[in-house]
Amino acid sequence: MHSLSTRRTFVRGTATGAALLGASSLGLLGGCRRTSAPGTTMIPGDPATTSLSDHLGFFSIDEPTLTRVMAELTSRGADAADLYFQHSRDNSITMEDGIISRASSSVDQGVGLRVVVGDQTGYAFTEDLSLAAMIAAARTAASIAHGSKVVSPVGYKHGKTADFYTLKQPWSEIGVAQKLPRIEQLNTLARAGDPAIEKVTVSWADGEEVVLIADMHGRIHTDVRPMTRLWCMVTAKKNGVTQANSANLAGRQGFEWYTDERLAFVAKEAVNRTMILFEAKRPPAGELPVVLAAGASGILLHEAIGHGMEADFNRKGTSIYADMIGKKVAPDFVTIVDDATQPGERGALNVDDEGNQTEKTVLVDHGVMASYLHDSISARHYGHKGTGSGRRESFRHAPLPRMRSTYMENGPHTREEIIASVKKGIIAETFTNGQVQIGAGDFTFYIKNGWLIEDGKITAPIKDINIIGSGPEALRNVTMVGNDTKLDFGGWTCGKDGQSVPVSQGMPTTLVSKMTVGGENV
Amino acid sequence: MSKPSTDIASSNELLKSSTDAVEIAQKAGAQDAWASLSRDRSVSYTYRDGKIEKVEESTSRGLGISLYVDGRYSSHSTTDLRPDRLAAFIREAVALTRALQPDPHRKIPDPALFQGRPTVDLERKDPGLADLTPQKREAWCADMDAAAHADKRVISAESGLFSGESQGASASSNGFSGTWEGGYVGYNCTATVREGEDKRPEGSASAVGRFLAGLPEPSKIAEKALKRTIDRLGSKKGPTIRATMVVDPEAAISLISRALGPGSAAAIQQGRSFWAGKLGQPLLGDKLTITDEPLIPRGLASRHFDGEGIAAKRMPVLERGVVKNLYVDTYYGRKLGMAPTTGSASNRVVALGDKNLEQLLAQAGSGIYVTSWLGGNSDSTTGDFSLGLRGHLIENGKIGAPVGEMNVTGNLPALYKSLIAVGNDPYPYSSLRAPTLVFENVQFSGA
Is any Cβ of chain A less than 8 angstroms from the Cβ of B330? Answer: no
DSSP per position, B231-245? HHTT-EE---EEEEE
Record: contact A316-B48, CB cut-off 8 A: yes
pLDDT tens profile B87-97: 999 999 999 99
pLDDT tens profile A88-132: 999 999 999 999 989 999 999 999 999 999 989 999 999 999 999
DSSP character at residue B409: E
Residue of B164, B157, B161 whose CA lies nearest to B137:
B161
Compute the distance between CA of residue A311 and CA of residue A318 in angstroms, rounded to an integer.
10
> Do residues B399 and B430 touch, judged by C-beta distance below 8 A?
no
What distance separates the 2 farthest-apart alpha carbons in chain B? 73
**Looking at the domain assignment, is residue A52 inside a domain?**
yes
pLDDT tens profile A186-210: 999 999 999 999 999 999 999 999 9
Compute the distance between CA of residue B330 and CA of residue B341 in angstroms, rounded to an integer.
8
**Looking at the domain assignment, is residue A267 inside a domain?**
yes
Q: Domain ends where: A278, A309, A325?
A: A278
Record: contact B44-A12, CB cut-off 8 A: yes
Same structural domain for residues A152 and A88?
Answer: yes
Same structural domain for residues A138 and A224?
Answer: yes
Q: Measure CB to CB from residue B79 to each of A110, A141, A201 and give the nearest one.
A: A110
Is any Cβ of chain A less than 8 angstroms from the Cβ of B36? Answer: no
Compute the distance between CA of residue B408 and CA of residue A9 in angstroms, rounded to an integer.
27
Compute the distance between CA of residue A212 and CA of residue A51 in angstroms, rounded to an integer.
13
Mean model confidence pLDDT for chain A: 90
Record: contact B374-A396, CB cut-off 8 A: no
Compute the distance between CA of residue A447 and CA of residue A292 in angstroms, rounded to an integer.
10
Half-sphere exposure of B61 (CA within 13 A, CB side): 24
> Do residues A482 and A509 touch, judged by C-beta distance below 8 A?
yes
Identify all chain A residues contacting B378, using CB atoms and an 8 Å cutoff.
464
Q: What share of chain A is helix, strand, coil (3-state, %, to 5)?
A: 20, 40, 40
Name the strand (E) or helix (H) holding A22: strand A18-22
Identify all chain A residues contacting B97, using CB atoms and an 8 Å cutoff.
103
B447 CB neighbour count, 10 Å cutoff:
14
Same structural domain for residues A444 and A480?
Answer: yes
**pLDDT of A49 over the 80 cut:** no
**Looking at the domain assignment, is residue A522 inside a domain?**
no
Same structural domain for residues A273 and A156?
Answer: yes
Based on C-alpha coordinates, what's the Rg of chain A? Answer: 24
Compute the distance between CA of residue B115 and CA of residue B311 in angstroms, rounded to an integer.
6
Same structural domain for residues A436 and A291?
Answer: yes
Q: Which residues pair with A83 in a beta bridge?
A: A113, A214
Same structural domain for residues A251 and A346?
Answer: no
**pLDDT of A24 over the 60 cut:** no
Residues 127-166 of B with CB under 8 A from A: 134, 155-156, 158, 160, 162
> How many domains does the structure of chain A reveal?
2
Residues 302-321 of B with CB under 8 A from A: none
Name the band, by pLDDT with cuts 50, 70 and 90, for residue A152: confident
Name the strand (E) or helix (H) holding B290: strand B290-292
Q: Which residues pair with A493 in a beta bridge?
A: A22, A502
Is any Cβ of chain A less than 8 angstroms from the Cβ of B91? Answer: no
Compute the distance between CA of residue A355 and CA of residue A153 in angstroms, rounded to an integer.
16
Same structural domain for residues A362 and A226?
Answer: no
**pLDDT of B75 over the 90 cut:** yes
Compute the distance between CA of residue A346 and CA of residue A343 in angstroms, rounded to an integer.
9
Q: In terms of DSSP bridges, do strands A120-126 and A99-117 run parallel, antiparallel, or are they unpaired?
A: antiparallel
**pLDDT of A183 over the 90 cut:** yes
Q: Measure CB to CB from residue B404 to each of A16, A123, A440 and give the nearest one.
A: A440
pLDDT, average across residues B132-154: 96
pLDDT at site A213: 97
Record: contact B188-A320, CB cut-off 8 A: no
**Looking at the domain assignment, is residue A39 inside a domain?**
yes
| Shortest distance, CA B155 to any CA of chain A (angstroms) | 7
Q: Which residues pair with B345 in a beta bridge?
A: none
Compute the distance between CA of residue A371 and CA of residue A361 in angstroms, rounded to an integer.
7
Q: Alpha helix locations (H) across B192-339?
A: 218-232, 249-260, 265-269, 330-336
Same structural domain for residues A123 and A161?
Answer: yes
| Shortest distance, CA B37 to any CA of chain A (angstroms) | 14
Same structural domain for residues A70 and A120?
Answer: yes
Residue of A278, A280, A64 whose CA lies nearest to A153:
A64
Compute the distance between CA of residue A200 and CA of residue A157 in angstroms, rounded to an integer.
51
Mean model confidence pLDDT for chain B: 95
pLDDT tens profile B226-247: 999 999 999 999 999 999 999 9
| Shortest distance, CA A128 to any CA of chain B (angstroms) | 8
Identify all chain B residues contacting A128, using CB atoms and an 8 Å cutoff.
4-7
Q: Which domain holds residue A203?
A: 18-278
Residue of B138, B306, B304, B297 whose CA lies nearest to B210:
B297
Compute the distance between CA of residue A375 and CA of residue A354 in angstroms, rounded to an integer.
8
Is any Cβ of chain A less than 8 angstroms from the Cβ of B276? Answer: yes
| Shortest distance, CA B87 to any CA of chain A (angstroms) | 9
Name the band, by pLDDT with cuts 50, 70 and 90, for residue B10: confident
Name the band, by pLDDT with cuts 50, 70 and 90, for residue B198: confident
pLDDT at site B248: 98
Record: contact A139-B1, CB cut-off 8 A: yes
pLDDT at site A44: 52
Percent of chain B with pLDDT over 90: 94
Angle at A137 between CA B4 and CA A118, to 5 degrees: 175
Name the strand (E) or helix (H) holding A268: helix A260-275
**Looking at the domain assignment, is residue A152 inside a domain?**
yes
DSSP per position, A31-46? ---SS--STTPPPP--
A308 three-class SS? helix
**Which residues in A322-331 are b (16+ Cβ under 10 Å) and which e?**
bebeeeebbb
pLDDT at site A144: 92
Q: Domain ends where: A260, A278, A296?
A: A278
Name the band, by pLDDT with cuts 50, 70 and 90, for residue B130: confident
The CATH number of the domain where A103 resides is what?
3.30.2290.10
pLDDT tens profile A212-260: 999 999 999 999 999 999 999 999 999 999 999 999 999 999 999 999 9
Compute the distance between CA of residue B36 and CA of residue B61 in angstroms, rounded to an integer.
11
> Do residues A308 and A325 touch, judged by C-beta distance below 8 A?
no
Identify all chain B residues contacting A143, using CB atoms and an 8 Å cutoff.
55, 134
Name the strand (E) or helix (H) holding A386: none
Residue of A448, A72, A371, A240 whose CA lies nearest to B1:
A72
User: Angle, to 10 degrees, between the axis of helix A260-275 and the axis of helix A176-191?
Assistant: 40
Same structural domain for residues A295 and A398?
Answer: yes
Identify all chain B residues contacting A438, using CB atoms and an 8 Å cutoff.
200, 202
Q: Which residues pair with B315 in a beta bridge?
A: B292
> Do residues B239 and B233 touch, judged by C-beta distance below 8 A?
no
Compute the distance between CA of residue A359 and CA of residue A352 in angstroms, rounded to an integer.
10
Same structural domain for residues A371 and A487?
Answer: yes
| Shortest distance, CA A51 to any CA of chain B (angstroms) | 25
**Looking at the domain assignment, is residue A461 inside a domain?**
yes
CA-nearest residue of chain A to B92? Answer: A35
**Looking at the domain assignment, is residue A96 inside a domain?**
yes
Same structural domain for residues A257 and A299?
Answer: no
Tell the CATH superfamily of the B11-230 domain: PmbA/TldD superfamily (3.30.2290.10)
Q: Domain ends where: A245, A278, A311?
A: A278
Strand ranges in B396-436 using DSSP code E only, listed in sequence order: 398-411, 419-422, 432-433
| Shortest distance, CA A148 to any CA of chain B (angstroms) | 19
Angle at B273 between CA B282 and CA A201, to 5 degrees: 165
pLDDT tens profile A265-322: 999 999 999 999 999 999 999 999 999 999 999 999 999 999 999 999 999 999 999 9
| Shortest distance, CA A335 to any CA of chain B (angstroms) | 21
Identify all chain A residues contacting B42, using CB atoms and an 8 Å cutoff.
none
B385 three-class SS? strand
Compute the distance between CA of residue A184 and CA of residue A179 in angstroms, rounded to an integer.
9
**Looking at the domain assignment, is residue A6 inside a domain?**
no
Residue of B62, B71, B64, B83 whose CA lies nearest to B30:
B71
Residue of A164, A500, A104 whose CA lies nearest to A342:
A164
**Which residues in B140-164 are b (16+ Cβ under 10 Å) and which e?**
bbbbbbebbbeeeebbbbbbbbbbb
Compute the distance between CA of residue A24 and CA of residue A245 in angstroms, rounded to an integer.
11
pLDDT at site A154: 76
pLDDT at site A466: 97
Name the strand (E) or helix (H) holding A117: strand A99-117
Q: Which residues pair with B389 in a beta bridge?
A: B373, B406
pLDDT, average across residues B75-88: 93
CA A471 to chain centre: 20
Name the strand (E) or helix (H) holding A439: none
Mutate to test the interface with A, among B374, B380, B387, B443 (most CBs of A within 10 A): B374
pLDDT tens profile B319-357: 999 999 999 999 999 999 999 999 999 999 999 999 999
Is any Cβ of chain A less than 8 angstroms from the Cβ of B218? Answer: no
Record: contact A10-B409, CB cut-off 8 A: no
The single-letter code of the amino acid at B325 is N
Based on C-alpha coordinates, what's the Rg of chain B? Answer: 24
**Where does CATH 3.30.2290.10 sit in chain B?**
11-230
Record: contact A109-B447, CB cut-off 8 A: no
Residue of B341, B348, B403, B346 whose CA lies nearest to B372:
B403
pLDDT at site B387: 98
Global ipTM = 0.93
Q: Which residues pair with A458 in a beta bridge?
A: A453
Mutate to test the interface with B, among A1, A2, A14, A400 (most CBs of B within 10 A): A14
| Shortest distance, CA B71 to any CA of chain A (angstroms) | 10
| Shortest distance, CA A343 to any CA of chain B (angstroms) | 30
Q: Which burial class, exposed, middle or buried, applies to B280 when counting CB atoms under 10 A from its CB (0-12, 13-18, 19+)?
A: exposed
Record: contact A36-B78, CB cut-off 8 A: yes
